[in-house]
């Protein structure tokens, strides 16, 4: 599991990237719902414990998402440093999608970056990041 979601080396094809992204999203939702009783059963101590647990547990899907993005960029022949602007564009697209109609319109090119990352075919041959993924 660590190698599947938290490895920063190698390449990741389109379908595994897509499926693992869904799995990370499901894990984030499970973490959210599992933490709700900590906030609902009163007491400041439980509330602060919930904040700490959610912060640590919430970091896990974020790290997994960035690691998957880096490996997908490696499949496209790009360095992992490009994950900075790719993740920033995805985050900005998500935030803008809740705004006005103009903000949603502005978010469309940013959302296209996520679609490009998910559906653009990787290098057909081995590149500097490894051989062609299975």
* pTM assigned to the model: 0.85
The overall longest dimension of the chain from CA atoms, in Å, is: 58
Q: In this structure, is residue 8 part of a structural domain?
A: yes
* Three-class DSSP category at 31: helix
Q: In this structure, is residue 127 part of a structural domain?
A: no
Counted residue by residue, the chain has a size of 134
Share above pLDDT 90 across residues of the chain, in percent, rounded to a whole number: 70
**Which residue range forms the structural domain that includes residue 37?**
2-119
CA 68 to each of CA 18, 48, 80, 89, 118: distance values in angstroms, whole numbers, following the listed order: 9, 31, 10, 16, 11
| pLDDT tens figures, 97-127 | 999 999 999 999 999 999 999 999 999 999 9
Q: In this structure, is residue 132 part of a structural domain?
A: no
Residue 91 backbone phi and psi in degrees, to 5: -65, -45
Q: What is the predicted pLDDT for the residue at 66?
A: 94
Q: In this structure, is residue 39 part of a structural domain?
A: yes
| pLDDT tens figures, 27-42 | 888 888 888 887 777 6
Q: What is the predicted pLDDT for the residue at 122?
A: 93
Chain centroid offset of residue 112 CA? 15
Confidence of residue 22 (pLDDT cuts 50, 70, 90): very high
Domain count, the chain: 1
């Amino acid at each position: 599991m660590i190698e599947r979601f938290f490895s920063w080396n190698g390449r990741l094809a389109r379908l595994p990237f897509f499926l693992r992204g869904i799995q990370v999203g499901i894990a984030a939702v499970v973490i959210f719902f599992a933490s709700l009783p900590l906030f609902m059963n009163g007491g400041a101590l439980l509330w602060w414990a919930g904040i700490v647990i959610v912060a640590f547990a919430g970091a896990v899907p974020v790290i997994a998402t960035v690691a998957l993005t880096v490996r997908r960029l490696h499949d496209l022949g790009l360095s992992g440093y490009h994950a900075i602007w790719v993740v920033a564009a995805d985050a900005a697209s998500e935030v803008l999608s809740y705004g006005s109609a103009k903000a949603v319109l502005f978010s469309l090119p940013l959302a296209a970056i996520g679609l490009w990352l998910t559906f653009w075919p990787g290098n057909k041959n081995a590149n500097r990041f490894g051989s062609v993924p299975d």
